[in-house]
Homo-oligomer: A and B are copies of this chain.
Amino acid sequence: MSDEHRPPRILAIHAHPDDVEIQCAGTLALLKEQGCHITIATMTAGDCGSAEMGPEEIARVRRGEAQAAADLLGADYMCLEFRDFCIIIDHEGRRKTTEAVRRARPDIVLTAPPVDYMSDHEMTSRLVRDACFMAPAPNYSTEQWDPAPPIDAIPHLYYTDSVEGIDWFGNNIPPDFIVDISRTIELKQEMLACHASQRNWLLRQHGIDEYLESSRRWSAARGQQAGVAYGEGFRQHSGHPYPGDNRLLELLNSSS
């Protein structure tokens, strides 16, 4: 099979463990069915997501949870080891994120939306947008251990929904398109269930009583907008010179 016909490689990269699962695990499961190689990456190990454990301890727990969820999907997992609330636009952040893109060698990237409920998500979005552009430039050095070579071309870039699909002022951010994940909703829920350490934290910090049910309701709400049982929304980054054809949607449609 020539390289052109192999299934595209996917990188789903978001801020914290559980964000990828919440926003796009159903879509990833569909892509896995298509034979795509999938890498899940989190910027942090979630070291501030606990009121009971210290940062190193909860980080260890959550790396394990993220790995377990990725295993359910048959995906690779990597953590870029930023600290929570410490994702900023600086040289080190750009180098690490570009290295992640070069290591995953994706054809399609799914990441956090530019506007979301907290800074870690928004900063992740910007760093990944930039990294997709920088990753093919051979003169840009990531200065990481065992640096991966530049990739061939800027990948297709998609933003997931923000949490609750709203901006800072409660306004809806409509997605460009909604993927029907009715067939994969249960795997998504299983992956999400791996993040058991977050139950207490989400209740304490976010006022979310039962995060599994909360996430299912959100998937159902997005699905309803597309007339299906469960859905996940996306926007495509179409600014020059990112590829503008909707390869993700074509790929998913080709499978139905």
Contacts and interface: CB of A to CB of B under 8 A. Distances in A.
Interface of A: 47-51, 53-59, 78-86, 88-92, 94, 96, 114, 116-119, 126, 129-130, 133-134, 136-141, 143-147, 154, 162-164, 166-170, 176, 205-208, 235-242, 244
Contacts of A241: 117, 205-208
Nearest to A163: B240
A87 B78 CA distance: 27
B94 A91 contact: no
B56 A235 contact: no
B238 A166 contact: yes
B240 A48 contact: no
Give the 5 A-B CB pairs with smallest separation, nearest first: A54-B54, A170-B238, A206-B241, A117-B239, A48-B139
Nearest to A51: B138
Nearest to A100: B145
Copies of this chain in its oligomeric complex: 6
Contact of A239 (B83, B139, B167, B176): B167
Given A55-B55, A88-B89, A208-B241, A169 B139 contact: no
A194 B233 CA distance: 45
Given A54-B56, A85-B137, A163-B239, 19 more contacts: A48-B140, A51-B138, A55-B56, A55-B141, A80-B145, A81-B145, A83-B143, A85-B134, A86-B94, A88-B91, A96-B145, A116-B239, A118-B133, A119-B126, A119-B130, A119-B133, A136-B205, A166-B239, A208-B241
Contact of A205 (B89, B137, B167): B137
A81 B147 contact: yes
